[in-house]
Chains A and B, each alone.
Chain A
Amino acid sequence: MHLYKTMKNFLFDQDYFIDVWRDYTHVYGIVDIDILTEKTIVLLLEAFQLILKGNSFRVLKLTKNEILIQGVLESFEVKR
């Protein structure tokens, strides 16, 4: 368990992070989901609101504090 905790602390050392690659978007540290449609996804994080805009959004994975989205990301906006 000690090894697991150490690895977890090493990998998840931030409160949040946003990864974008090809047509995937991964957001860690979400608190709530405001809007979830094929064109717009609005996610609420601890310090700001993240607005993702694009096409054919589809949720691949969803847990209590992270989300993996597939779809063409055209723009994103951070609102504090």
Chain B
Amino acid sequence: MISWRAIAVATLFTAAPALLAGEIPPDARRSGYTFMGPDTRAMQDDDTTNPGMLFVLDGEALWAKKTGSASRACADCHGDARSSMKGVAARYPSFDKSLGRPVALDQRINLCRADHQQAAPLPYESRDLLALSAFVAHQSRGIPITAGDDPQAKPFVAQGRALFMQREGQLNLACTNCHDDNFDKRLAGAPITQGQPTGYPLYRLEWQTLGSLARRLRSCMTGVRAQAYDYGSPELVALELYLMSRARGLAMETPAVRP
């Protein structure tokens, strides 16, 4: 009898960490904003001190500017972004039927440039691409994230989740080891967040510029001494998609400010 109880207790204790680890329940999901100090929060909250708004302004100008051999502006098809782009970024990365895979917002902008404007693609992390992405995503500010709800995207969400759970690099760490299991603690001086991608592209004070979620993921991979995936690689898009689906229900903040 006693031995049975001991086994039961032992089973419970070995099973408990496995139950505690893993996904964050919806009501416990928190934006990176809640991990920041009051000064950085104030910087994000006021549109005249948020440096990300400079990119949004540039993006607004690009939206209306005719470009490519088709000599068309984004506005010529999409009209006023305030209505046509509202809520769009909250659904990205989104499944593209013709490509048969999900595409991120910056990739969608480049596809649009190629297909409808006959313009050269903008390089990843270039000022113009970030500005356009920020302008489009800004129209979704305050709207809850719903990316990954599309049934066709589910296999890619699963792929992203597998990558999130997979240990990598010389430090042999998976994303989940910090961002599911140890958020609210500190890594040296910096708070460990849940890694919810609510405000991309966002202004990172460390970068002194706006950057995409792909750039943030790549710098985390370099941090664990892993070889980072290339910009635009399917693995990065799958990770972005999983992260967005993991942040389901949180409000968009673009352009966010982060330390």
A in complex with B = no
